[in-house]
Amino acid sequence: MQRTTLLLWRATAAAVLAAAATPLALEFQGQPPAPARSAHARPDDNRFTPVAVIPPGELDEPIAFEVLRDGKVYVIERKGALKVFDPATKTTTIVATIPVNTKYTSAAGVQREAEEGLVGLTLDPNFEKNHWIYMLYADPEVAKHVLARWEVTGDTLAEDSKKVLLEYSVQREACCHTGGGMTWDAKGNLYLTVGNNTGNAQGAQTDERPGRQPWDDQRGAANTNDLRGKILAGGVSAGVGGAHRPD
């Protein structure tokens, strides 16, 4: 009797499980339901309409831009120009031209166009009050990149307000990887991305052969005593120079 009861229980349990599983199988027949849309999901592309703000031909190799609260737009060009677009007049004006290096010269003396130039732009978080603008550029004479701050008002850059905040050496024998992107945190620290300044060998960036230093990341990105190939942070908004790797 005990054996019979056990077999009946097993049979009943199997029937219940089968019955419970049947609706689940039917529910997913055909097209599966669309997943719920997250509140932070990217909006559909058809919700945006591209609008040409600056007419074609008015910019030459634009690198970065910053938009003011009044709608004006500061734009930097690789060859050194800082421009401002005024939406009220729909005109673009050259504010200043920063002297920069734009060339690489190989060990054989062959010169070619570089990624270097005026490569970074950001506005101070308190720009409405202090009018501070920060730009990263390639020094025209010395193989180094310079982060400096100026005061700018409208279409006027105060040249005598320039304050150099950071400099680091680079090689100008082989292309590429300059970096220059900048952003701020809530405490007023400026974050700067610095490229590895290493030639692209389409493989491991480790090359210890003589004369191949520009292709060897051990001398830069992998070297904690070198600022290249890093994300740097500095309290420059308060006028304090220097930089460190953020924790």
DSSP per-residue letters across 5-73? HHHHHHHHHHHHHHHHHHHHHHHTSSSPPPPPPPTTSPPPGGG------SPTTS-SSEEEEEE-TTS-E
How far apart are alpha carbons 14 and 17 in whole angstroms? 5
Per-residue pLDDT tens digits for 40-74: 788 888 888 888 888 888 999 999 999 999 999 99
pLDDT attached to residue 208 = 75
Whether pLDDT at 216 is above 70:
yes
pLDDT attached to residue 10 = 39
Whether pLDDT at 17 is above 60:
no
Task: Please state the pTM of the whole predicted model.
Answer: 0.75
pLDDT attached to residue 28 = 45
Query: For residue 143, with 0-12 CB atoms within 10 Å meaning exposed, 13-18 middle and 19 or more buried, which class applies?
Result: middle
With cut-offs at 50, 70 and 90, classify the pLDDT of residue 203.
low
With cut-offs at 50, 70 and 90, classify the pLDDT of residue 221.
confident
- Of the candidates 230, 219, 229, the one whose C-alpha atom is nearest the C-alpha of residue 196 is 229
With cut-offs at 50, 70 and 90, classify the pLDDT of residue 228.
confident
Whether pLDDT at 247 is above 50:
no
Question: Could you tell me which residue, 233 or 138, shows the higher pLDDT?
Answer: 138
pLDDT attached to residue 244 = 44
Of the listed ranges 127-136, 184-193, 225-234, the least confidently predicted one is 225-234
Of the listed ranges 24-38, 117-131, 187-201, the least confidently predicted one is 24-38
Rounded mean pLDDT of 161-169? 95
Would you state the torsion angle of the CA atoms of residues 146, 142, 103, 158, taken in this order, to the nearest 10 degrees?
40
